A and B are shown apart, each in its own frame.
Chain A
Amino acid sequence: MAKIELLSPAGDLERLKVTLLYGADAVYIGGEKYSLRANATNFTLENIKQACDFAHKLNKKVYLTLNIVFHNEDMEGVEEYIQQVVMAGIDAFIVSDPFIISYIKTNFPNVEVHLSTQNSTSNYKAVEYFKNEGVKRVVLAREVQLEDMKEIIKRTGIDIEIFIHGAMCTCFSGRCALSNYVTNRDANRGGCSQVCRFAFKTTEEKDFTMASKDLNLSKYIGQIIESGIKSLKVEGRMRSLYYLATVIGTYREIIDSYYNNNLSEEKMSLLEQRLNKVANREVSSQYLMKEADHTDQYYSGRQELSNQDYLGLITGYDYQNNCIILIERNFFSPGDQTEIFTPSGETYQYTIDKIYDENMNELDVACHPEEVLKLKFQKQLPPYSMIRLISKANNKE
């Protein structure tokens, strides 16, 4: 049985490299046009070529989102753009508009088309329709339950991709224009202003809110793998390097451990804790095992939690002084218990001792984000290794 794909988001070339190094099998990106994250950094054609070259050298894949709901004006130039992206080496397009699907399959039959979740495809007959149109893979609606996914796979034989982690919409994808009406920003062309996270007045004493908790299906990965699903997608093209490294690295470990038959309860518990540490909202399994209910959403206006566990990005090694070099992200001080983690999955428990600036002057604390610092460490670490907080010295927190 082919191993399930772990599919990561990437908002720019650096994130793409990090997620592939941390274990993603494929990455989805947005171009400068036609993607549902119009306000992400997004990839130029040259970036797309570099991304494909980098991924292909690792035997991994890059998919481009072309999943806006097109207006007349958006159709201008799209055919030429598709051709250019194909030339850049893209492995698949993620599309919602059937005209675009038809165009790609007619002109570039060897390039895969994946149906975007923007279509909210939720049954086997709709999947059959798109299979007949040449779609290789369908990203199902987030409202579909696991049992229905199995039936869709059984009846259609198509490749199915599902979201396993990240933010959720309150409404069906593609069936929400709240952003258009409240803020004049077009949700279906990448301008969603997340009105479903606003609080609304009612005649009751408490505001009405409808924001969904985030999705986290880590504890169901085994069942999902056994169901025959082909790809596990993580949400978040605008997320940080640290978030992506942690989430992708953790899911890599869960998936590999499952296949290697060594995903013990203890290990799973540790991995879940790691995911929880980068979560900035509460999580639930949403629709996977049951209809989403009152436990899967928020009832207050503020949902985001700040996360200050990311202490630094390791950028090099000072052989003369036996120090790792890092760029500080959040406050830390001597005595803090930390964990250094690398793209290959190695981790090192590390207690902060002396902190140095880049000229080896000793500091009392690290308190200037973006400052270059050094910490004594016995060996050089691979690029994009990071350091996270486990606990503050003397349990200050």
Chain B
Amino acid sequence: MKLLVEQSNKDIIDADGLILALKGFSVQSEVTYTKEEIKDIIEKNPQKEIFISINKNIFNKEIEALKQELLYLDNLNIKGIFFYDLAILQLKKELNLKTDLVWNQTHMVNNYKTCNYYFNKGVKYALLSKEITLEEILEIVAKTSIISMVEVLSMPSVAFSKRRLITNYYKDLNKSSSKTLDIEEKIINQKYQLIEDENGTSFFLKSITNGTSIIKNLFDNNVPYIIMREYGINHSLFKEIVDDTKEYIKGNCQNIKYLEKYKKLGQDTNFFFKKTIYKVRKNG
């Protein structure tokens, strides 16, 4: 099992691989990289698996620029591209790109049949949704040929809007705007952080999903990749978690001290053990 990280800091840390968000074509990432920066990182870190995130909703006017970016990236030693928009899968076919793809439709990667569908379309990897249970994850892993990835540590991204919601809010208040805004739901007092950029507004749950306790289960069930994201976590703490997790995996996830140590990240296991509902009353 390999550990991929998405950093909020350009000081590269020692994980098996990195997820780098492409500037102008990615959302819900704190730090983005130009293609030249990506090339530089690849050259300086030849032992690392480098994945690129191109996860914004694409509009017509961006297609030509997207093509150029994909063609450039295809000449680099990139392990895979995380994609949201199906334009990328179409362009891979049209441009005959050799770079592998990671199906990354944030909240939609929820079942094994659709994973198999994408695998048969030439998509090599899938980042499973954060809103499904561990049981569902393991069923997907068991029943697909696609290489599955599971996000185990992050301040999860929960929504994305094309609207400039922070700008609008401050405009109504007649105050100068800000790039981020913390909001709190009033009934269960759950906190969210909003970040706005030129693509729109990203929503993050302001609580760390701590999946360190399920890593062993994922390891035992042959999950090939786990992902940790730095956003919302202190940089030195994040480095420490990554180092410890690598050691934990190297020791076949037997070190109980690791589990004890990272209880300090909190007990929020997101949807790993909690099933969502969708029908709130019976038809009458």
Chain A residues at the B interface, C-beta cutoff of 8 Å: 32, 38-39, 41-42, 68-75, 96-99, 102, 119-126, 128-130, 132, 141, 143-144, 148, 151-152, 170-172, 174-178, 180-182, 184-191, 195, 198-206, 208, 210, 212, 287, 291-294, 296-297, 299
Contacts and interface: CB of A to CB of B under 8 A. Distances in A.
B223 to A, nearest CB: 16
Contact of B281 (A39, A71, A171): A39
B176 interface: no
Contacts of B162: 143, 172, 287, 291-292
Interface string B92-113: 0000000000000111101111
A44 B281 CA distance: 16
Given A175-B106, A185-B278, 7 more contacts: A122-B57, A123-B59, A144-B59, A177-B131, A202-B183, A204-B175, A294-B167
A97 B182 CA distance: 34
Given A71-B136, A126-B87, A294 B182 contact: no
Contacts of A75: 111-113
B141 to A, nearest CB: 11
A171 B163 CA distance: 8
B89 interface: yes
A69 B106 CA distance: 11
B256 interface: no
A202 B132 CA distance: 30
A186 B63 contact: no
B164 interface: yes
A129 B86 contact: yes
A150 B113 CA distance: 34
B283 interface: yes
A170 B205 CA distance: 17
Interface SS majority for chain B: mixed
Interface stretch (B41-49, B153-161, B246-254): B153-161
A195 B112 CA distance: 29
6 contacts: A123-B58, A123-B85, A144-B59, A185-B277, A202-B184, A205-B173
A125 B90 contact: yes
B277 A123 contact: no
A299 B86 CA distance: 34
A69 B181 contact: no
Given A177-B107, A191-B279, A294-B168, A126 B86 contact: yes
Contacts of A151: 60
Contacts of B58: 122-123, 125-126
A123 B58 CA distance: 6
Contacts, number: 207
B240 interface: no
Interface of B: 57-63, 84-87, 89-91, 105-108, 110-114, 116-118, 130-132, 136, 139-140, 156, 158-165, 167-169, 171-173, 175, 181-186, 188, 190, 192, 203, 205, 271, 274, 276-281, 283-284
A184 B190 CA distance: 12
Given A177-B158, A177-B159, A208-B183, A124 B63 contact: yes
A204 B173 contact: yes
Nearest to B120: A102
A186 B277 contact: yes
A98 B105 CA distance: 12
B90 A126 contact: yes
Nearest to A204: B173
A182 B89 contact: no
A182 B185 contact: yes
Given A191-B280, A202-B184, A123 B161 contact: no
Nearest to A79: B113
Nearest to B28: A175
B122 to A, nearest CB: 12
Contacts of A96: 108
Nearest to B207: A181
Nearest to B106: A175
Q: Which of B89, B111, B175 has the most CB of A within 10 A?
A: B111
Nearest to A287: B162
A178 B159 contact: yes
A74 B111 contact: yes
A210 B278 contact: no
A299 B169 CA distance: 7
Contacts of B165: 170, 210, 297
A72 B139 contact: yes
Given A126-B85, A208-B169, A102 B111 contact: no
A172 B136 contact: no
B271 A180 contact: yes
Nearest to B89: A129
Contacts of A187: 107
Contacts of A208: 169, 181, 183
